Amino acid sequence: MSVLDASEIMDLIPNRYPILFMDKVDELEPGKSITVTKNVTINEEFFQGHFPGNPVMPGVLIIESLAQAASILILKSEEFAGKTAYLGAIDNAKFRKVVRPGDVLKLHVEMEKVRSNMGTVKCSANVDEKTACSCKLTFIVADADKKI
C-alpha cells in the first residue's frame, strides 16, 4: 500500500507528464526520509532517442527523479508546506548501473541538514537492490508564487 499515489504527488509538486518521474510514495517520514517507486516502461518518451535499439534511461532523468522525491520529502515538512522546492546543486553524482525499460527504480532520499530556506539531502536510486545512482542534492525553498 502506498503512502501517496500519483494524484496526491501532483497535489504537492508542480511536475506533470511527461516530466513527472514517480508513480507512488512507498514510505515517508517527514523531515527525515522518503522511498518512492518509479516504474520504468518502454513507453517513456525519452527511450525514442536514448538510444534506439538500446534503450537506457538518461542519467540526468534519474537525478531529476531523485530531485522530485526530495521535493516531496521537503514539502511534507511543516516548515515548508505549501511552498516550492528548487534544485540548487548536485554533488558527487555517481552512476553504477544502467536503468532500462522494465526496471523498477526505488528512490531513497534522506534529509541531511536544513538551514532557513535551504538544505541538503543524500539520495540513491536502486534497481533490484543495486545502486544505479547516488548523489547529494542541495535544495532551495521559496513561496510557490515567488520567482527566485
* Cβ proximity of 75 and 117 under 8 Å: no
- Spacing of C-alpha 47 from chain mean position: 19
Q: Nine-digit cell at 130?
A: 543495486
The percent of residues in the chain predicted with pLDDT above 70, rounded, is: 97
For the beta carbon of residue 125, count every other beta carbon within 10 angstroms. Answer: 27
Tell me, yes or no, if 50 is annotated catalytic: yes
| pLDDT for 1 | 64
- Cα–Cα dist 134/123, whole Å: 6
The percent of residues in the chain predicted with pLDDT above 90, rounded, is: 87
* Cβ proximity of 123 and 135 under 8 Å: yes
- Cα–Cα dist 16/72, whole Å: 14
95-138, pLDDT tens digit by residue? 999 999 999 999 999 999 999 999 999 999 999 999 999 999 99
For the segment 46-71, the average pLDDT, to the nearest whole number, is 96
Annotated catalytic residue, options 20, 31, 50, 93: 50
Residue closest to 108 by CA, chosen among 98, 93, 123: 123
Q: Where are the domains of the chain?
A: 6-143
Q: Which CATH superfamily is domain 6-143 in?
A: Hotdog Thioesterase (3.10.129.10)
- Cα–Cα dist 148/109, whole Å: 24
